[in-house]
Amino acid sequence: MPVAARLIPLDEQQDRVLRDLALEARSMQEIVEAIRVWREMRGVSLETLDHIAGWPEGYSNKLLAPEPFRNLGWQSLGLGLSALAIKLVVVEDPVQRKLVEKRWLQRERPRNDVPAARKQK
């Protein structure tokens, strides 16, 4: 499945809806908590989530327990998001940006006129 990272243009109404339903997550623990909240909002049982996501019976309980005994991996994350009809949207954190942007070093471009692959020996 190809990765689809693209800008999503939003009109005012969509932006308002997203703010009302959005949950912030800056760590895997917070992503798991957000999935827990969405599952509750949808009223989906753990067994149903297992079935729709294609997980083994009882797997969602291990992933979404208050103290999970399994970690959510790349594949499980995608399957769980799809089963709950939710997606992740990456946005800038302006507070964090102010803390780190002075440490960002600009990437230096090579100064060669000819790419290395085309250079003759």
3-state secondary structure of 100: helix
Residues 92, 97, 101, CA angle at the centre, nearest 5°?
A: 130
pTM over 0.85: no
Residues 97, 99, 105, CA angle at the centre, nearest 5°?
A: 75
| Domain range summary for the chain, segments of one domain joined by + | 18-106
User: Which one is the CATH code of 18-106: 3.40.630.30, 1.10.260.40, 2.60.120.1140, 2.70.240.10?
Assistant: 1.10.260.40
Q: What is the phi/psi pair of residue 13, to 5°?
A: -65, -45
pLDDT at 1: 41
pLDDT at 11: 65
Predicted confidence (pLDDT) per residue in 30-84, tens digit: 999 999 999 999 999 999 999 999 999 999 999 999 999 999 999 999 999 999 9
Output helix, strand, coil percentages for the chain, rounded to the nearest 5.
Answer: 50, 0, 50
Q: Is the pLDDT of residue 115 over 80?
A: no
